[in-house]
Amino acid sequence: MACTDTLDTLDPTNPRAAACPLPAAPRPLLGVRAAAVRTRRATCRGELKNNIFSGISLQAWLPILRKRFFHIEWRTYWHRVLFITFMACVNTLMGFEDWLLYGTATKEAVLNDRPVFILGHPRTGTTLLHNLMAKDVSFGTPTTFQVGFPCGFLSLEPYSWTLASMVDKTRPMDNMQLSLDTPQEDELAVNVLSAGTSPYAIHPGARRVPFPAPALTPAASTAALAVAS
């Protein structure tokens, strides 16, 4: 009796189950390949680049630690917590300096009442369109540096060159050019300023890194997970 449906293997009452054995477990990695995989995992665990919370402030970071303290794999990712905490202290000081020096000018800034929104599913060319439109001087768009460090980028800007090594030269998902000067989505800033309640906080995963899942309704969370996948 031939196996005609993969569901046959999951139904013990189906007479075709005997003819449809469950697929064998993946073979263990051996030799050079296994060593390469272990090296890559160790590198990823120690990686501090492209961290979406590098620009967070203490005001937003401490509530995340309090709520998600037991969700962090401390033995594996303690250095990331330490790194983000250090950056949160720096960002808080720079944010205070921004408030002192540029607070009045920021409040008096006139915003365009006709913003342009680029909407689309992942991997459909929205980033390419964003980058192309950013070439037009009639549009204003935030940079990776500005949305990555929204708390105090005005004061940090003269020293932005010291942070250039915190991002890769290309994006890991599509190999597009990446730097602190490239146009970037403002949702990254919303994620940092809102203490991780943005759908972007789902990307790294709640158990493996100290980032929480967004405080959304079940339906919205399902939709956000679908977008992040």
Asked, for residue 135, whether it belongs to a domain, the answer is: yes
35-41: long-range contacts, CB 8 A cutoff, minimum separation 24 = none
This prediction's pTM: 0.68
Asked, for residue 136, whether it belongs to a domain, the answer is: yes
* Residues of the domain holding 171: 52-107+121-228
* pLDDT, tens digit, 9 for 90 and up, residues 140-149: 899 999 999 9
* pLDDT, tens digit, 9 for 90 and up, residues 128-181: 899 999 999 889 899 999 999 999 999 999 998 999 888 888 887 778 888 999
Asked, for residue 17, whether it belongs to a domain, the answer is: no
SS3 41: helix
Asked, for residue 145, whether it belongs to a domain, the answer is: yes
- Token couple for 134: 């950013």
Asked, for residue 91, whether it belongs to a domain, the answer is: yes
Asked, for residue 211, whether it belongs to a domain, the answer is: yes
Residue 66 · residue 58 · CB < 8 Å: no
Asked, for residue 39, whether it belongs to a domain, the answer is: no
Give the lowest-confidence range in 18-32, 59-73, 167-181.
Answer: 18-32
Asked, for residue 26, whether it belongs to a domain, the answer is: no
The number of folded domains in the chain is 1
Q: How many other CB atoms are found less than 10 A from the CB of residue 50?
A: 14
